[in-house]
Amino acid sequence: MKSVPLPLVLLLIGIASIAPLKAGAPERLFELLAESPQFWKLLDHDAQLTTVASGFGFTEGPVWHPSGFLYVSDEEINKIFRVYVADGRKEEVLSLGDPDGNTFDREYHLLDCASVLRAIIRVESGGHYKILADRYQGNRFNSPNDVIIGPDGAIYFTDPTLDLVKGVKQEIPFQGVYRLDSNGEVRLLTMDLAQPNGLAFSPDGKSFYVTDSKQRNIRVYDVAPDGALANGRIFGEEPGSKGDGVPDGMKVDKDGNLYVTGPRGIWIWDSEGHHLGTIAMPEQPANLAWGDGDYGTLYITATTSVYRLKTKAHGFVPYLSNSR
């Protein structure tokens, strides 16, 4: 999701590339800000943030591939890249208007929220794609934003109006969260969020989380055996000032802790809704992914860059059969 970024301040201890500060802009640094001793069970006190690659327009939708690269969307340059973590090398995969959140399905096909197409697509070889869904009850989606695979193997995605092209008609009169099954059937799960954005399942599949970028909160729902959502409620609030960033992409570790982008960084929550602390970032993050061989590293897309942070935790990765 393209929120209005803070003036870009790329001063970061341990990173050689430093950009000049804009006049009057608040300085942003990498910091680990604990709210609870539990925070240090997830991160070392001396954990270091490093830059994988920079020079992007606006980064989103990181997905780790075991071959040693990330798929990364650039919403400004309108391309999906492979970004190799060893040297930061970029390879263009697909040129596409405003690509956003990405995930793999269980067969390792890359799925993307194609905002301009107003569709969920599967990326094919040779710079091609296939539209999996672009309508609900005959009406075009708004601008699909983030996507995950559920415990049942179905595709779950959010459809706010955050990236709806200016001047284009909104055909669905609400901002929904949907489930897309293997038969191509689209089911509306909820329409009670103002601007649904990031989403995640708990490791046991019993809880479903969605960020609301407009209300600046995280909702949680109980998941019925048939995939229906019930008992929606506020899980946590991420207040901030205008320009600080809003709740956006999120991921979950194997113990059920949530890592949610929000004002000035990544907010970490336990499964009971307690804010454990914040990873303050030098650029405003939009999304993140677990990566490396043990899925013990967070790869973070933050405005013009992709960053890496080693953790003590290990990620829950829904499309991997061995992660459940």
**pTM as predicted:** 0.91
| pLDDT tens digits, one per residue of 24-76 | 556 799 999 999 999 999 999 999 999 999 999 999 999 999 999 999 999 99
38 three-state secondary structure: helix
CA–centroid distance for 263 within its chain = 14
69 three-state secondary structure: strand
For the cut 50, the answer to whether the pLDDT of residue 90 exceeds it is: yes
* 195, two tokens: 């601007």
| pLDDT tens digits, one per residue of 105-132 | 999 999 999 999 999 999 998 889 999 9
- Give the confidence band of 13 by pLDDT, cuts at 50, 70, 90: very low
Using a 10 angstrom Cβ sphere, with 0-12 exposed, 13-18 middle and 19 or more buried, the burial of residue 280 is middle
What confidence score (pLDDT) does residue 12 get?
33
